[in-house]
Amino acid sequence: MPIALTPPAAPEVKNLENAKVESLNKRKIICFSDFDGTIFMQDTGHVLFDNHGCGSKRRELLDEQIKKGERSFRDVSEEMWGSLNVPFEDGFDVMDQTLEIDPDFQSFHKFCVGNNIPFNVISAGLKPILRRVLDTFLGEEESAHIQIVANDAQISADGSNWKPIWRHDTELGHDKALSVQEARKEAELTCEDGTIPLIVFIGDGVSDLPAAREADVLFARRGLRLEEYCVEHKIEYIPFDTFADIQREIVKIREEDAKKTGGKGVPARFNPRANMWRRVSSKNAVPKLVSMTPSREEKMFLWPDAFSELKTPSAEATESSLMPVQENVVSGAPTTRVQA
């Protein structure tokens, strides 16, 4: 199913801001948000694994294997999901008791619907679970306005076999950056006069970095790993405590963009690096762009095929053997050239 670029028709919702927002609808804005730890405070998969699968101790050990580079995210995830032994419907009893939704998310989503801002969930989780959780906490009618970009799943009727159907053939299973790129390209086709859509990403963890790099505006939940990483590596972001903070900032950003650009051309908060990423292949560009990436941790998320390998001498040599690079500037955008 394609990513939501235009929200489904919905009953009129009163704007929560001044009526002048009506005049700011020229610039298409598309919101992407992580799910676990962002919209909901807990991780849906962890709730299931701890109560109906491998248990919290084994899960924590598997998480450490990912962090240490001993196993890939996809490999570990398949073991975790494969450990579940619970029918699909029964798995939600514990979720109803455990999950907490951001207190202002529902109001924020109504704001998006009322202001023609498509809202997409982008997650490394399983789409059937995320959809059921949204249906339960928001109601099916409101949930239907949210497009979910995630992995599918095959789940046996008796709950004895849970198998992820990965969205992309990488060690992460779902390349969030690629999904955002696809959405931006599709949105550009629907915009008039060459107007570039404004891409907003909302997240909480380092695994959100690939998609965050493709966004024009990044919101990071305050006090969590994504914010820490942004501070450490001087990545521009806006902190938030609840989705009410995000709503206020988006209103300001729309007003700013209308004043500076009139809704035409590129957004006032345009991300030139994201524009560069759209023009290159994430696999073929590894030798040329690796010097622009601050750490191996980030390289692992940006290029999983090249940098998420198990810890072996050959894997380490792959990175150390890269040729030195020289940075140039072409049309105002940074590029790199491999030295001969």
Give catalytic residue positions. 34, 36
For the beta carbon of residue 157, count every other beta carbon within 10 angstroms. Answer: 8
Dihedral class, residue 71 (left if φ above 0, else alpha if ψ from -120 to 50, else beta): beta
What does the block give as tokens for 288? 């040329």
Q: What is the CA radius of gyration of the chain?
A: 21
Nearest Cα residue to 129 out of 210, 30, 36, 2 = 36
Contact 118, 146 (CB under 8 A): no
33: enclosing H helix or E strand: strand 29-33
Task: Report the amino acid identity of residue 332.
Answer: G
Please give the span between the terminal C-alpha atoms of the chain, in angstroms, as a whole number.
44
